[in-house]
Amino acid sequence: MSLNNTHEIDIVKTSSSKINSVDFETLSFGSTFTDHMLVCDFREGKWGKPVIKPYEPFLLDPSAKVFHYGQAIFEGMKAYKDDNDEVWLFRPDQNLDRFNKSAVRMAMPEVDDWIFLEGLKQLVDIERDWVKKGLGNTLYIRPFMIAIGSGVIAAPSTQYRFMIIMSPAKSYYSGEVKVIIAEHFSRAANGGIGAAKAAGNYSAQFYPTKLANEKGFQQIIWTDDATHTKLEEAGTMNVFFRINDTLFTAPVSERILDGVTRKSLIALAQHEGIKVEERSVYVDEIINAAKDGSLKEIFGAGTAAVVNPIVGFSYQDTYYELPKLENSIALQLKDKLTKVQYNMAEDSFGWTVKV
């Protein structure tokens, strides 16, 4: 796959890089940012000229609609460096597609393909020294859009800002992850914005996750809003269940995010001859499988963590420990996916993009 430079982007370089002041061995996820960012505004019904400029704060009117009505969406992506110092993106077209679907759902303008893809490629190229070699080292990329039009009338904004910022990263999660299956709280509802990467989806999770943390659990497996009988996502990730040698995961819907990592893992699993079923997964089904020993693995899947194995779960104050396996499908798939992302294995799917 290639991204062709057919449009002009203004570039203003920083006079002094801060890269030498960064300790890349002790990074805290999402707290250190590169020297530059991309900015492009939507005004009078069209997108203006994108600019790559030094990373810096910017001013907004206190009545900007992002503050009052939550028109904000984002994506999560990564850049990877191989042993030959080449930098790669992973399925950026999928992030663009999902970004624009989120924009439509939030009554925001779709971003032109070239602004997103060519802007992304040029920004990563400028910051390629921030992408470090070695498995686990990545450059996390955060495209986002906010409503910047002023006024507190309850209506969509007419002005928006699209930006891309980037942060060097190591592994997102560490240590064992235990989860609680939600009995009351839900991540999303039918007819809502669960399938959009809208900022409000994530802030709504903070309180129930805080309650889970206080009980000694790291995350929540969310259940459907209507019956709380269907298992849908784990924390901020899609979730997979392995019963015997079959993987089960909830189908994409208006409640469930169409994860890029999720669909990539499904394709890899099927390519390896692993059976995958995309269907509703029920709480009772998983409880029974845990009791009879057929539940082998549960794992989350997302850009930040890639694959996050879950060691056990709690439901109605009963804790179920999962077996420790030597033949973990989760870890096998993670290894295969990361080797493709880091250009350490053949990309037979055409997923990677060289910067």
Render pLDDT for 26-68 as a digit per residue (tens, 0 to 9).
Answer: 898 889 999 999 999 999 999 999 999 999 999 999 999 999 9
Q: What is the pTM of this model?
A: 0.93
pLDDT score of 172: 67
Instruction: Give the angle 67-139-21 at the CA atoms, nearest 5°.
Output: 90
Matching residue, tokens 């009505």: 69
Residue 2 belongs to some domain of the structure: no
Residue 353 belongs to some domain of the structure: no
270 vs 336: CA distance, rounded Å = 13
Three-class DSSP labels, 181-241: ECCCCCCCCCCCCCCCCEHHHHHHHHHHHHHHHHCCCCEEEEECCCCCCEEEEECCEEEEE
**pLDDT, average across residues 116-127:** 97
- Structural domain span for residue 135: 10-170
First to last CA, the chain: 11
- Residue 3 confidence class, pLDDT cut points 50, 70, 90: very low
**pLDDT, average across residues 55-83:** 97
Task: Give the domain-ending residue among 149, 170, 191.
Answer: 170
pLDDT score of 211: 96
**pLDDT, average across residues 168-178:** 80
Render pLDDT for 147-160 as a digit per residue (tens, 0 to 9).
Answer: 999 999 999 999 99
**pLDDT, average across residues 228-247:** 95
Instruction: Tell whether the model's pLDDT for residue 175 goes beyond 90.
Output: no
Residue 5 belongs to some domain of the structure: no
Q: How many domains does the chain have?
A: 2
Residue 355 belongs to some domain of the structure: no
Residue 108 belongs to some domain of the structure: yes
Render pLDDT for 259-317 as a digit per residue (tens, 0 to 9).
Answer: 999 999 999 999 999 999 999 999 999 999 999 999 999 999 998 888 999 999 999 99
pLDDT score of 170: 87
Task: Give the domain-ending residue among 117, 144, 170.
Answer: 170
Looking at every residue in the chain, the average pLDDT score rounds to 94
Residue 348 belongs to some domain of the structure: no
Render pLDDT for 188-217 as a digit per residue (tens, 0 to 9).
Answer: 999 999 999 999 999 999 999 999 999 999
Residues 188 and 78 in one domain: no
pLDDT score of 1: 39
Residue 346 belongs to some domain of the structure: no
Residues 230 and 288 in one domain: yes
110 vs 127: CA distance, rounded Å = 26
pLDDT score of 141: 98
pLDDT score of 182: 95
Structure tokens at 162: 């699209």
79 vs 200: CA distance, rounded Å = 26
Instruction: Tell whether the model's pLDDT for residue 2 goes beyond 60.
Output: no
- Residue 5 confidence class, pLDDT cut points 50, 70, 90: very low
Residues 117 and 209 in one domain: no
- Residue 174 confidence class, pLDDT cut points 50, 70, 90: low
DSSP annotation of 328: -
- Residue 86 confidence class, pLDDT cut points 50, 70, 90: very high
